[in-house]
Structure 1
Amino acid sequence: MTDHAARLGTKIDWTSKLRHGLQVLAFALAIATIQYGFQPDKPYGPPLIYSVLIAIITWAVIDIGREFFPSSAETGWPKGFAGVGLVAAGIVLGYLLGTTLGDRLCVFYGWFPAGTSGKSSHDLRSSLLITLMAGVAGSYYFYTVNKSAYLTRKMDEARQHASEARLKLLETQLEPHMLFNTLANLRALIGSDPQRAQVMLDHMIAYLRATLGASLATTHTLEAEFDRLRDYLELMAIRMGPRLGFTLDLPGELSQHQVPTLLLQPLVENSIKHGLEPKVQGGRVTVSARREDGFVVLEVADSGVGLSSTLEARPGFGVTQVRERLLATYGTSSAIELIAFPAGGTRAAARFPLKP
């Protein structure tokens, strides 16, 4: 088997070809029925046989033959004169082979006398005209179908690239935000507690190493997301001391689920900055994941001072970033909500479809 033949065998979508063949067959039956309707005094068999044979052979030459042209690999149709020549060859071969086989079958079934075609010159001209018109119309139909599918694929690719670019842009906005906050905390510790500043610097280096390693991808597993949150919370625990406690709860069944990188980071930052830092005794941050009715629900809850009226009316940088990243990845089927607990504290919940 040649390389081209092997490549051809792997590329042909035979299900699609069968669907096209059935459409052509239905079209051929309709043409035969129309011909019979104009000549009801003649048997239905001959127009049916000629119509089906010519149509199927023409379709096979064009629809399967176009796979042999490299230029049709992307659009599904040969470019330039190759496409026109293929249609012409299909119509000519379909007519010649179809009429030859049709003559023999009509003689075999007794519709035509032996040794004749049983068709007048008028019938031959009509048959040739019908073949030409049907071949051109059918080819144009399949050309437009393939062109439409090609444009749809290109639009989907463009949307995907746009979504990826948007996620990358949001991530580049998020990374400096977190980094500047951490450096500010580190600067404060250097003067007051150099030993803790050294430990914090070691944690920050480990965190940045993991972050840079995952920067080439727009998504990672929930397990990786929780690992990076653990690194960040360890950093914050060094600065805040016993005022910060945290719990990470990730079920094993969701550990390999893909999510946008650093999705929960801004929500955890919000809990610390707006919830626990203003509270003298501090508190606890709980990050959890669960499966709920075909959705994944990620929650960041804190026992801080609660949701201020300003943040409740106009969510800040972190919530806005998470909302935009969810929309860019999951569309309108995703959502995020902020809820203030009556006794103090805030819960942020992100919800999006569970994907395999």
Structure 2
Amino acid sequence: MHLATVWRQIIHKQKTDYPMTTSLLPFASAQKISAPKQMFYSVLFNSAIALFVTYGLSNGEGLQTNWVFSMLIGVSIGALINGMRRLIWKDAKPNRLGFLMVCCIAAPLGFYFGYSLGMLIYGFPLEKLFRHLAGGEHKLVIMSIIISLFFGILFLSQTALSERKLKAEQEKAQLADIQKQAMQAKLQLLQAQIEPHMLFNTLANLQGLIALDTERAQYMLEQLIHYLRASLSSSRAEKTTLKQEFALMHAYLELLAIRMGKRLTYQLDLPAELEASEVAPMLLQPLVENAIKHGVEPKMEGGHIHVSAAMRDGILQLQVADTGLGLPDDYDDSRPPHPQTQHDVQHEHVGNANVRDRLLALYGTGATLTLSRNQPQGTLALLNIPYSS
């Protein structure tokens, strides 16, 4: 295999998007350091080299002369490394071996170029450069190669670290998107669980009402249309307003009131200043459905449902209170139901758990759902949601 082919394979082994930089210190771009800071670090590092050459190696030149030579050599090496990197990889990321080879090549070339430029500035004959090299100045060339390799490795390490951070952020964003999609799927599943039961009961009632009370059947059909339209709109949105949520509850409760007759009364209280407040959709309906199914409907004389909203100390409180059968004496919402009562309260637990999962995903640990005994009878479900307008 030809040497040129091997070289092309080395330098083009790895391709990815990579930002261009004008830094004299190649590692600075990996840390996204601003141009003034890059220049400051370059001057600081080159000054440290000048101090080392003057007082550590004692080359016989003064600090000022060594500082000028150090700056010229450092700038030349940095410019060559960055120039070769742009020429070879353009906007792509350099691979490790290829970039280290570039550092090894750029270091002696930059040293000779910067050293020669310094000789010209100070009026020294270029023959002196070769005398210096013959007299041991080649140690500085070796040192420049070692330093360039050090910064090359540092650059690659910092680049890898930045890539890992970027990958972690991307994975975090993807996870958040997956969780969001999962919440949307749960919402649609919840709606699918609620609607068929309610829809079939409503249609069965409509069938009976059409023959007995046409006007009432017409009103029930209108409410069903309102409910389905509002429900469909909520299921497709990430957020809904309290006005829309309460409109959905009105249509839902009105349908049930037609079916249950005098056994169900209800009241909706939404302050005008909270109508535009945004919340996640379908938070209230599982609680209202539980209140009907497990509280009011099994009770012989029925009961009353009161849905309300209030804002207290930056906490949005949504409350569903009923005067139904109430909670069992041994009810504990924090643990699964006892096998003997599981059939009666399993759906209630699933609905509450679903609401709590959505609250945690959407609002964090500050949002809560609590169930307590209503006075004088029934159940009180309270949603507390941290809210900022």
| TM > 0.5 fold call | yes
**Would you say the 8 A contact 1:164–1:218 is kept in 2?**
no
User: Which of 359, 362, 373 is equivalent to 1:326?
Assistant: 359
Distance between the aligned counterparts of 2:310 and 2:326, measured in 1? 21
**Structure 2 runs not aligned, ≥5 long:** 1-18, 21-28, 338-347
Note closer, same or farther for the CA distance 1:17–1:97 as it changes in structure 2 (3 Å cut): farther
Amino acid of the residue matched to residue 181 of structure 1? H
Note closer, same or farther for the CA distance 1:93–1:15 as it changes in structure 2 (3 Å cut): closer
Quote the residue 2:383 is aligned against: 350
Which stretch shifts more, 239-248 or 143-152?
Answer: 239-248
Q: Deviations over 1:303-340 (max 9, x none)?
A: 44433336545452321110111123234343211121
Quote the residue 1:249 is aligned against: 270
Q: Deviations over 1:283-321 (max 9, x none)?
A: 13223142534x433322334443333654545232111
**Would you say the 8 A contact 1:337–1:350 is kept in 2?**
yes
Distance between the aligned counterparts of 2:84 and 2:371, measured in 1? 59
Quote the residue 2:221 is aligned against: 201
Quote the residue 2:246 is aligned against: 226
Quote the residue 2:146 is aligned against: 129
Quote the residue 1:4 is aligned against: none
Distance between the aligned counterparts of 1:66 and 1:225, measured in 2? 60
Quote the residue 1:3 is aligned against: none
2:311 paired with 1:280:
no
User: Which of 40, 45, 48 is equivalent to 2:67?
Assistant: 45
User: Which of 285, 304, 311 is equivalent to 1:290?
Assistant: 311
Which stretch shifts more, 91-100 or 315-324?
Answer: 91-100
| TM-score with structure 1 setting the length | 0.72
**Would you say the 8 A contact 2:50–2:67 is kept in 1?**
no
**% same residue:** 24
Distance between the aligned counterparts of 1:17 and 1:184, measured in 2? 62
Note closer, same or farther for the CA distance 1:193–1:301 as it changes in structure 2 (3 Å cut): same
Q: CA deviation at 1:182?
A: 1.4
Distance between the aligned counterparts of 1:343 and 1:67, measured in 2? 77
2:383 paired with 1:338:
no
Q: CA deviation at 1:165?
A: 3.0
2:182 paired with 1:160:
no
Equivalent residue of 2:283, what SS? coil
Equivalent residue of 1:280, what SS? coil
Distance between the aligned counterparts of 1:101 and 1:250, measured in 2? 77
Quote the residue 1:181 is aligned against: 197
Distance between the aligned counterparts of 2:235 and 2:286, measured in 1? 17
Q: CA deviation at 1:163?
A: 0.8
Equivalent residue of 1:267, what SS? helix
Equivalent residue of 2:370, what SS? strand
**Structure 1 runs not aligned, ≥5 long:** 1-7
Q: CA deviation at 1:216?
A: 3.5
2:57 paired with 1:17:
no
Which stretch shifts more, 19-28 or 214-223?
Answer: 19-28
Q: CA deviation at 1:137?
A: 1.7
Q: CA deviation at 1:173?
A: 2.6
Equivalent residue of 1:316, what SS? helix
Distance between the aligned counterparts of 2:370 and 2:87, measured in 1? 56
| TM-score with structure 2 setting the length | 0.66
Distance between the aligned counterparts of 2:156 and 2:268, measured in 1? 63
Q: Deviations over 1:21-65 (max 9, x none)?
A: 847965884685477457625537358635863686478669999
How many residues are matched?
A: 330
- How do 1:49-64 and structure 2 match up within 5 A? 49=71, 53=75, 57=79
Amino acid of the residue matched to residue 148 of structure 1? R
Quote the residue 1:317 is aligned against: 350
Note closer, same or farther for the CA distance 1:221–1:160 as it changes in structure 2 (3 Å cut): farther
Distance between the aligned counterparts of 2:106 and 2:238, measured in 1? 53
Distance between the aligned counterparts of 1:100 and 1:178, measured in 2? 79
**Would you say the 8 A contact 1:57–1:90 is kept in 2?**
no
Amino acid of the residue matched to residue 280 of structure 1? E
Equivalent residue of 1:193, what SS? helix
Q: CA deviation at 1:208?
A: 1.9
Q: CA deviation at 1:178?
A: 1.6
2:158 paired with 1:142:
yes
Q: CA deviation at 1:105?
A: 7.1
- How do 1:207-218 and structure 2 match up within 5 A? 207-218=227-238
Equivalent residue of 2:32, what SS? helix
**Would you say the 8 A contact 2:242–2:274 is kept in 1?**
no
- How do 1:94-105 and structure 2 match up within 5 A? 100=113
Distance between the aligned counterparts of 2:69 and 2:317, measured in 1? 64
Amino acid of the residue matched to residue 345 of structure 1? G
Equivalent residue of 1:18, what SS? coil
Quote the residue 2:5 is aligned against: none
Distance between the aligned counterparts of 1:24 and 1:148, measured in 2? 27
Larger Rg: 2
Amino acid of the residue matched to residue 237 of structure 1? A
2:284 paired with 1:264:
yes
Amino acid of the residue matched to residue 266 of structure 2? G
